[in-house]
Amino acid sequence: MLTLTLYDAAFLHDASDGLDGLEHDADRAAHNAGDEGVKAEQADHPYTDRTYNLSGSAHVEATDDGEPGVDMVWPANYASYVNSGTERSRPYPFVPIAEDRAKQVLDYDLENAVDRFKDTVSG
């Protein structure tokens, strides 16, 4: 029986650095996606924003469950009624606009993050 064990310290070092970079890039990608989702909704929403309280208060914040990532938040107390409608008012769905843009940006940024990781590891 022949056993050959290869230990490449440089590869392991590069992989460790690459994983740290990938984690940082993924976190940055989530924040960027959230920001861009909010901006897209603010620029192109289906409702008339007379007071600018709904769109103007929209922001991104860290998830409150301790998990990595961000939440897009519309703190106006009537935001869900505008988005989903009520018995007396039709919906003006603005969340899908933010979600669609955030997904596009997240996919793009994560693809670039993975490419950077591969470049780091393949050195």
> Is this model's pTM higher than 0.75 or not?
yes
* DSSP assignment of 16-68: HHHHHHHHHHHHHHHHHHHHHHHHHHHHS-SS--SSSHHHHT-EEEE-TTSSS
- Give the model's confidence band at 82: pLDDT under 50 very low, under 70 low, under 90 confident, else very high: very high
For residue 77, the model assigns a pLDDT of 95
CA separation for the pair 21, 58 (Å, rounded): 29
Q: What is the mean pLDDT of the chain?
A: 87
- Give the model's confidence band at 12: pLDDT under 50 very low, under 70 low, under 90 confident, else very high: low
| pLDDT: which is higher, 14 or 39 | 39
